Amino acid sequence: MAAQVEALTSATGLISLLDENERELQFYGLTQLNAVTDRFWAEISDAISRIEILYEDETFQHRQLAALVASKIYFHLGEFDDALGFAMGAGELFDLTDTSSYVQTVVNHAIDTYIARRASEASDIDPRLEAVVERMFARCFKSKDYAQVIGIAIETRRLDVLEQALVSGDTQSLLSYVQHECVDLIRSISVQEQVQELLFKVHMQFDTPDYEAVCLCLSKLNHPKKTAEILDMLVKDHIEDKILSAYQIAFDLDANATQEFTKAVVAEFEAVSAAGGASTPATQIASILRGDETLKLHLEFLFRNNKTDMNILNRTCKLLDSRQSLAHNATTFSNAFMHAGTTVDTFLRNNLEWLARASSWSKFSATAALGVIHRGQIKHGFHLLQPYLPVDNTSASPFSEGGAFFALGLIHACHGTEKVVTYLQDALVSYQGQNAEILQHGACLGLGAAGMGSGNEDIATAMMNVLFTDSAVSGEAASLGLGLVMMGSCHEATLKGVLDYAKETKHEKIIRMLSVGMGLIMFGRKQQADSMIALLIEEEDPLLRLGAVHVITMAYCGTGDNGAIRKLLHLAVSDVKDDVRRAAVTGLGFILLRSPEQVPRMVELLSESFNPHVRVGAALALGIACAGSGSKPAIAILEPMLKDSVDFVVEGASIALAFILIQQNETYEPKVAEVRKRFATIIETKNSEGVSKFGAAIAQGIIDAGGRNVTIGLTTNDGQLNAPACAGMLVFTQFWYWFPLAHFLSLSFTPTALIAINKNLKAPNLDVSCVSRKALYAYPPNVEQPVVQAPTKIATAVLSTTKARRGGKKMGVADEPMSARSTEDAEPVRESAESMDVDEVDTKGVQKKARKAGSDTFAVSNIARLLPFQEKHMKWPAGSRYVPVKHGRISGVLVVKDTMPEEPEDLVQSMLPDDLVGEEESVDAAMPEPFEYPFDADSA
């Protein structure tokens, strides 16, 4: 029979059988047509009506076979809806185990249709469609393909199937997979919450739940009370293992949760623990949740491992004309980024003359740089800035004082204490006159940084009051600060007030920052932002369309959502405003930051656009998505852009390359040395454009940020979105319009460290093994400072005839010129050199072999740099005295258990100066000598 089918050259004879009256002949015809459909579908399609008639005839016993043949014909015609309809009518004859393209395509279309119907909450879903999907689930369960079941169950909102999949396989690993790989990709916030509740339910079914994962679920669900109860339960039993687990949970919550949530947990935890009596573990947990311990450990790490190359900074300062505001700002930002969080301000102290040349807003930025350098010193923030803050509500130097307000907020970024917040709120209303708007500008930016994500409505009200004064200077900062404070809240009243005011005011600066603020308020809200996006995207005002871009970017940040990408690409190629097009292309980097390998392919053509704004947007998108990865495809696209004819494209390419190559050395990525040299060349070339030099100088600061000990961390060590870092990066891109906003990039800097602490929150001396070459992770070598040689006196030329006439002596070999010496005299030197070359090669060969043999493994000590791409090669040594409480991660702050508590501990000694270790309230703590900028009193 098979041979007869293969020998067919036409299906006409088989089609004619369908017109017979005998049911057996019709059945035989359908059976044969089903076998040859893939070959003769074009011919059979002419008889599709006859096949459909047989299917619709309820008296025909084999109508399901007719449906299957019709389905295959419609599949080949590209009519997938009809193909699915008839496939559902085929019942069991539609074999889901078949791996043909027909079955796979129809099944995929069935799932997509089912997903769409479930998402629209339709009540009239075809039972036959549900049957196909159920059969698909059964097939996956039978083959134990639980990951596929989980994906389809989440998309179709079948939580019953999701729960069945979680408990059928390796539950712990599947729970981790859903939490870290699936949940953040769900578009609907309500469905996301339902999935989190299900994860919480499944976790709690274990006899000993993974409380770290449980608390992560609760933080996503915004349940601070339940989180506090779990922490209290772990502590009150006074069992060391549980206490250490509680410490680790607190550190993870500080790293992953919002400021609003951690403050609520602290309040609930203190209330619960107070009822049972205060204890040392409870006090320490509260301190960890407030961020005090993490900030202290990061300060220690950044200070003791600071490897800033001052030669680069000094040379940049020397080459750039500090009398120009652009050049002065470039050096300010470069210094701030290089020393971010290190507390080292020696460059400022050693260059007072350069510092004194700052004027107006350059002075504002220079003072605010202190906040970047001293970020995290929340115990000494006021003391450090005391020389620059106003005294008795009297302003003497508004630009430096406004910068000090901003610096105070940066020092307390995401950890705003009540004292700092109250002080900055008072500053909004305490100053009047022509200089008030400059001080309010700094205070609003400081409040935004300190209160980021707190959802504090009192701060929001104070910001709105400043905004409604309709001052371009203070209103711009209030718009941004409002978005930062209410970040991710989707607060309807705030959004309505912001949108209405954006349509009323005539100040472009205010509207532009309100568009950024709206994006921040909708951070992570996904589908909830769609209505606002649809409203803004149709506005005639390009600044409001810019708001649509920022809302898309922030609402779908890190999701890789195809719908959001389509909208941004449409705006990038069709909008008439360059600012909108640039922001739309840049936004692609935020949306795809979790799948950076897709970005180079997506923006490759955009990077060659005739429009320079699109090109610079493509550069920034590459830098943001591929930050710290050393992506070779991204570097290949960006390198030619360093030679672009437009200065701001060169600026954007320089910054993007610095993002990508941060913490990379020449051994790991050979392009690093070439790119660094290119930055220096741009700065040294006299005819380079000022904007190009500005970008190169900032890039030098970024690539060596934090003393070469931080990276751009848009996700946390646990794979969660780092909300402050994403906000800081978005605001940094606004330096295009307002230079002081560049300081917000410091919020994206994440220390790359191994920090292990014991039950007393002290760091013991320990080593962890790295099975790889040490050279791959070494700090880049410092740039050699050019040696200036003193001029040497040239000997007076004396002719040989004159010398012979004067002295009567015969000219010796030493007196002859080199060209006149005999080859015999020079030959021994050549032979000696050749023999030395041979010896040198042999020596290098021996050294290379020895180095290769002994470089496979090296030890990484506690509180030392640990690069993200190094972590996969790390191994905790077997038999170590200290064992981490949390498994599967070695970077970041790790709580370790001492397996030999009876032996004395060898602790890492702090290298921070004494004045940085003591408490702010301590009267006996010796504070450093006040360091005042050499700014004269100024006025607006």
Query: Where does the pLDDT of residue 280 fall: very low under 50, low under 70, confident under 90, or very high at 90 and above?
Result: confident
How many angstroms from the chain centroid is the CA of residue 142?
39
Nearest-10 crossing angle of helices 211-221, 240-256:
30
Nearest-10 crossing angle of helices 240-256, 280-289:
20
User: Other C-beta atoms within 10 Å of 458: how many?
Assistant: 13
Task: Give the pLDDT confidence of 478-499 residue by residue, as tens digits.
Answer: 999 999 999 999 999 999 999 9
Rounded CA-CA distance 866/893 in Å is: 12
* Residue 608 Ramachandran class (φ > 0 left, ψ -120 to 50 alpha, else beta): alpha
How many Cα neighbours within 13 Å face the side chain of 452?
Answer: 26
Q: Using CA atoms in the order 500, 506, 509, 514, what is the torsion angle rounded to 10 degrees?
A: 0
The two three-digit tokens of residue 700, written as one number: 């030098």
The CA angle 905-891-248, to the nearest 5 degrees, is 65
| Residues 684 and 692 sit within 8 Å (Cβ to Cβ) | no
Return the SS3 of 894: strand
824 or 708, higher pLDDT: 708
Burial of 691 (0-12, 13-18, 19+ CB in 10 A): middle
Predicted pLDDT of residue 127: 87
For residue 280, give the amino acid letter.
Answer: T
19 or 808, higher pLDDT: 19
Predicted pLDDT of residue 675: 94
| The dihedral sign for the CA sequence 374, 376, 377, 383 | positive
> Is the per-residue pLDDT at 830 higher than 60?
no
Predicted pLDDT of residue 855: 56
> Is the per-residue pLDDT at 277 higher than 90?
no
Q: What element of type H or E holds 135? A: helix 127-142
For residue 875, give the amino acid letter.
Answer: K
Mean pLDDT check: name the lowest of 103-107, 117-121, 681-685, 889-893.
117-121
To which residue do tokens 């080199």 refer? Answer: 818
For residue 192, give the amino acid letter.
Answer: Q
> Is the per-residue pLDDT at 167 higher than 50?
yes
Query: Where does the pLDDT of residue 322 fall: very low under 50, low under 70, confident under 90, or very high at 90 and above?
Result: confident
Per-residue pLDDT, averaged over 371-379, amounts to 93
| The dihedral sign for the CA sequence 47, 51, 57, 61 | positive
Helix intervals (H) in 413-507: 418-430, 436-450, 457-467, 472-485, 492-504
Rounded CA-CA distance 435/921 in Å is: 32
Q: What element of type H or E holds 746? A: none
Average pLDDT value for the chain: 87
> Is the per-residue pLDDT at 330 higher than 50?
yes
Predicted pLDDT of residue 188: 87
Q: Are strands 710-712 and 749-751 parallel, antiparallel or unpaired?
A: antiparallel
Query: Where does the pLDDT of residue 803 fall: very low under 50, low under 70, confident under 90, or very high at 90 and above?
Result: low
| Residues 257 and 219 sit within 8 Å (Cβ to Cβ) | yes
Query: Where does the pLDDT of residue 801 fall: very low under 50, low under 70, confident under 90, or very high at 90 and above?
Result: low
Task: Give the pLDDT confidence of 310-320 residue by residue, as tens digits.
Answer: 999 999 999 99
Q: Are strands 858-861 and 749-751 parallel, antiparallel or unpaired?
A: unpaired
pTM of the model: 0.86
Query: Where does the pLDDT of residue 820 fall: very low under 50, low under 70, confident under 90, or very high at 90 and above?
Result: very low
To which residue do tokens 């003393």 refer? Answer: 707
Per-residue pLDDT, averaged over 271-300, amounts to 86
The set of residues, in sequence order, having a beta carbon less than 8 Å from that of 29 and lying 6+ positions away, is: 14, 15, 16, 17, 18, 20
Helix intervals (H) in 374-417: 381-385, 398-411
How many Cα neighbours within 13 Å face the side chain of 414?
Answer: 27
Return the SS3 of 767: strand
477 or 937, higher pLDDT: 477
Predicted pLDDT of residue 913: 78
How many Cα neighbours within 13 Å face the side chain of 76?
Answer: 18
> Is the per-residue pLDDT at 834 higher than 70?
no
DSSP code at position 612: H
How many Cα neighbours within 13 Å face the side chain of 680?
Answer: 15
Rounded CA-CA distance 872/852 in Å is: 20
> Is the per-residue pLDDT at 239 higher than 70?
yes
Q: What element of type H or E holds 138? A: helix 127-142
Predicted pLDDT of residue 573: 93
Return the SS3 of 712: strand
Predicted pLDDT of residue 920: 41
The set of residues, in sequence order, having a beta carbon less than 8 Å from that of 164 and lying 6+ positions away, is: 141
| Residues 439 and 773 sit within 8 Å (Cβ to Cβ) | no
Rounded CA-CA distance 253/218 in Å is: 10
> Is the per-residue pLDDT at 921 higher than 70?
no
Rounded CA-CA distance 714/621 in Å is: 13
> Is the per-residue pLDDT at 417 higher than 70?
yes
- CA Rg, the chain, in Å? 34
Return the SS3 of 794: coil
Predicted pLDDT of residue 642: 94
> Is the per-residue pLDDT at 135 higher than 80?
yes
Q: Residue by residue, what is the 3-state secondary structure of 293-344?
A: HHHHHHHHHHHHCCCCCHHHHHHHHHHCCCCCHHHHHHHHHHHHHHCCCCCC
Helix intervals (H) in 522-555: 530-536, 542-555
Query: Where does the pLDDT of residue 725 fall: very low under 50, low under 70, confident under 90, or very high at 90 and above?
Result: very high
Return the bridge partners of 755, or none. 893
Distance spanning both ends of the chain, measured CA to CA: 96
Query: Where does the pLDDT of residue 787 fall: very low under 50, low under 70, confident under 90, or very high at 90 and above?
Result: low
**Given 3-state DSSP classes, what are the helix, strand and coil percentages for the chain, each rounded to the nearest 5?**
65, 5, 30
User: Other C-beta atoms within 10 Å of 645: how many?
Assistant: 7
Task: Give the pLDDT confidence of 601-656 residue by residue, as tens digits.
Answer: 999 999 999 999 999 999 999 999 999 999 999 999 999 999 999 999 999 999 99
Return the SS3 of 801: helix
Rounded CA-CA distance 470/462 in Å is: 14
Predicted pLDDT of residue 231: 93
Task: Give the pLDDT confidence of 692-714 residue by residue, as tens digits.
Answer: 999 999 999 999 999 999 999 99
For residue 60, give the amino acid letter.
Answer: F
Q: Are strands 753-757 and 892-898 parallel, antiparallel or unpaired?
A: parallel
For residue 701, give the amino acid letter.
Answer: G
Per-residue pLDDT, averaged over 903-928, amounts to 64
Query: Where does the pLDDT of residue 169 fall: very low under 50, low under 70, confident under 90, or very high at 90 and above?
Result: confident
The two three-digit tokens of residue 283, written as one number: 């006090």
| Residues 247 and 284 sit within 8 Å (Cβ to Cβ) | yes
Rounded CA-CA distance 852/856 in Å is: 7
Rounded CA-CA distance 454/442 in Å is: 19
User: Other C-beta atoms within 10 Å of 194: how many?
Assistant: 17
Query: Where does the pLDDT of residue 207 fall: very low under 50, low under 70, confident under 90, or very high at 90 and above?
Result: confident
Predicted pLDDT of residue 663: 93
Predicted pLDDT of residue 615: 96
Task: Give the pLDDT confidence of 571-590 residue by residue, as tens digits.
Answer: 999 999 999 999 999 999 99
Mean pLDDT check: name the lowest of 43-47, 774-778, 788-792.
788-792
Per-residue pLDDT, averaged over 351-357, amounts to 87
Burial of 912 (0-12, 13-18, 19+ CB in 10 A): middle
Per-residue pLDDT, averaged over 135-147, amounts to 90
Helix intervals (H) in 666-738: 671-684, 690-703, 705-708, 723-732
